[in-house]
């Protein structure tokens, strides 16, 4: 796809140059000889301006699109399946994380031992009322159970990460990732051709769509990386969460930490589901009747009406040349929008689900 798109951009650039050149050939010839101040404004405005914009849009922006714009749609598989790991043999082994977690465990563990020892001491030697003994026994039970979970917390987190990874991998194995890639690319290239068309006349007109280009290129990355950072954060906080959850006074805070840990770890599964959904929504192409799925070409000739001629020629010859259609554009944009909407919805819905 990369070479095809490069070719498309290169040919578009050449054709656009030729097209505009025909219009101004005579006057350019005559004016190249002029050394008059008054002609400056016209020359820069109406001749140099479009040429510079063309070079900027097709060469600079085109190269940006081929590298940054296509990046997520080509590499989403590796990115979504990325998890931090405690296992030294895996490629995403994070020694700093391991040392932090082991530090927090080693720091808090003596506290547990102290608590258990003092409760046992109380029960054995300072036997008070039956009620007091009963409460102390319950506390002791809770402390021991909590201590077991606390010492196993890195393995628990690793187990959750592995479960999530396994589920995401199997979901992605069932989907047609090539189709998802095509739909995502349709969205961002659609926005690009709109920018190319409108921005050739004046860059300020294309501000809205240009912003959407950057949003589409970077937002999925931001969301997925946010999840990674949150996973690292909550991996560190998970042992503390267990400690807090076992004491009634701090139960709310502990529950929150545990919930967030599980939510962010299993967000991976939702990302894989989004890709599966995007691949499954290819049927949206058949919603509009054929003649209404109008094609917008990314080239912009100064002659009014020449764009239509160009589009019709390429449609007849069945060359998808530097063009986009309404369904590809909006479905692609909506697919990128899913990466923002779904995590947001999940954060709102999966609220307070632990007892």
Partner 1 sequence: MRKKRTLIITAGLIAIIMAGGMLPAHASGLAPFRSVLYDELMKLAAKAWMVTSAQDFGHFITKITQNLRYLILANPPVDVLKGPQAFFIRMVQPFFILGIVLTAAYILLFSGTQKGRAKAKGVLARLIYAMILVSLSPLISGLIMGISGTLAKAIIDTADLALARDLIETGTSALFYNFAELTLIHRTGGIEMLLLWDTFLLILNFAMAIRYPLVIFWNILLPMTLLMYSFTPTKTIGKKFLHQTFLWTFVQVGWAIGIVIITISATGMKDIDPNFPDAKMGIACLLLLITTPMMILGVMDWLSVGVELVEILNAAPLSIGALTFDEMKVERGVVIEEPAMEGV
Partner 2 sequence: MKKRHVLMTLGAFTVLGLLYIAYAEESLVIPSGDFKSTWYSTSLGEGFWWAKRLAYAIVSLDMSKSGISYLLQNLDKLVLMNPNPGGGEVLKYIGLFIRIVLPLYLLGIVVTGFYLLLISGSPSGRARAKFLMRDLVVGMVAVSMSPWILQLFTDVSYQAANAILSQTDVGIVTGSMSALLGGESWNPAEHLCPLCVLHMFVTFIEIELGYYTFLPFFLIVWGTLIFFFIRFGVVTLWMMIFPVSVFLYSFETTRDVGRNMLEQTLLWVYMQVFEAVILVAIALCLIQIPEGLMSVGLGSPTLGGTMEDTFLWLLPSVLFDFIPFIGCIIMAIAPLLMLRLFKGFLP
The one segment of 7-15, 95-103, 132-140, 269-277 that binds partner 1 by CB under 8 A: 269-277
The DSSP bridge partners found for residue 325 are: 295
Instruction: Give the C-alpha separation, 150 to 254, whole Å.
Output: 13
Q: What angle do CA 217, 218, 219 make, to 5 degrees?
A: 110
* Dist. CA 227–CA 265, nearest whole Å: 8
- Site string (166-185) toward partner 1, x via CB under 8 A: -x--xx--x-----------
Cα–Cα distance, 8 to 210 (Å, whole number):
20
Nearest CA to 276 out of 121, 172, 134, 138 is that of: 172
DSSP string, 70-124: THHHHHHHHHHT---BS-TTSTTB-HHHHHHHHHHHHHHHHHHHHHHHHHHHHHH
SS3 354: coil
User: Which of partner 2, partner 1, none has residue 222 at its interface (CB below 5 to 8 Å by kind)?
Assistant: none
Draw the binding track, 286-315, toward partner 2 (x: CB under 8 A; -: no contact): ----------------xxxx----------
Instruction: Please report, for residues 60, 77, 131, 180, 183, the alpha-carbon distance to residue 186 in angstroms, rounded to integers and kept in the order given.
Output: 20, 18, 70, 10, 5
In the stretch 35-74, what mask flags binding to partner 1 with x, by CB under 8 A? -x-xx-xx--xx--x-------------------------
Stretch that binds partner 1, among 60-68, 133-141, 220-228, 279-287 (CB under 8 A): 279-287
Residue closer to partner 2, measured from CB, 289 or 305:
305
CB 164 within 8 A of CB 193: no
- Whole-number minimum distance, CB 17 to partner 2, in Å? 18
Taking residues 38 to 67 in sequence order and writing x for each that binds partner 2 by CB under 8 A, - otherwise, the string is xx----------------------------
Asked if 129 is part of the footprint of partner 2 (rule: CB under 8 A), the reply reads no
The CA angle 39-42-45, to the nearest 5 degrees, is 140
**What is the smallest separation between the CB atom of 294 and partner 1, expressed in angstroms?**
5
Which residues sit at the interface with partner 1, rule CB under 8 A? Answer: 36, 38-39, 41-42, 45-46, 49, 167, 170-171, 174, 194, 197-198, 200-202, 204-205, 207-208, 273-274, 276-278, 280-281, 283-284, 287-289, 292-294, 296, 300, 302, 304, 307-308, 326, 330-331, 333-335, 337-338, 341-342, 345, 349-350, 352-353, 355
Site residues (CB under 8 A) for partner 2? Answer: 23, 26-27, 30-31, 34-39, 302-305
């Amino acid at each position: 796809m990369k070479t095809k798109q490069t070719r498309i951009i290169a040919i578009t650039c050449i054709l656009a140059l030729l097209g505009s050149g025909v219009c101004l050939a005579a006057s350019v010839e005559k004016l190249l000889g002029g050394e008059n101040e008054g002609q400056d404004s016209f020359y820069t405005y109406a001749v140099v301006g479009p040429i510079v914009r063309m070079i900027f849009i097709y060469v600079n922006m085109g190269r940006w699109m081929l590298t940054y714009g296509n990046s997520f749609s080509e590499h989403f598989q590796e990115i979504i399946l990325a998890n931090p790991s405690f296992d030294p043999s895996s490629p995403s082994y994070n020694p700093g994380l391991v040392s932090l977690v082991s530090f927090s465990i080693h720091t808090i563990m003596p506290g547990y031992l102290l608590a258990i020892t003092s409760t046992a001491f109380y029960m054995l030697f300072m036997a008070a009322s039956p009620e007091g003994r009963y409460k102390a026994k319950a506390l002791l039970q809770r402390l021991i159970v909590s201590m077991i979970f606390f010492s196993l917390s890195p393995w628990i987190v690793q187990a959750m990460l592995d479960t999530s990874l396994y589920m995401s991998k199997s979901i992605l194995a069932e989907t047609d990732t090539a189709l998802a890639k095509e739909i995502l690319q349709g969205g961002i290239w659609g926005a690009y051709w709109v920018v190319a068309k409108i921005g050739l006349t004046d860059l300020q007109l294309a501000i809205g769509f240009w912003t959407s280009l950057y949003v589409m290129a970077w937002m999925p990355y931001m969301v997925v990386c946010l999840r990674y950072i949150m996973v690292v954060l909550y991996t560190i906080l998970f042992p503390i969460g267990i400690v807090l959850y076992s004491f009634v006074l701090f139960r709310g805070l502990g529950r929150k930490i545990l919930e967030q840990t599980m939510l962010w770890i299993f967000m991976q599964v939702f990302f894989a589901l989004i890709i599966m959904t995007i691949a499954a929504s290819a049927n949206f192409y058949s919603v509009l009747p054929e003649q209404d799925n109008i094609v917008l070409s990314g080239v912009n000739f100064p002659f009014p009406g020449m764009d239509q001629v160009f589009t019709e020629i390429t449609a007849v010859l069945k060359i998808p040349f530097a063009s986009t259609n309404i369904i590809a554009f909006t479905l692609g944009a909506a697919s990128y929008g899913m990466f923002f909407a779904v995590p947001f919805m999940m954060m709102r819905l999966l609220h307070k689900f632990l007892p």
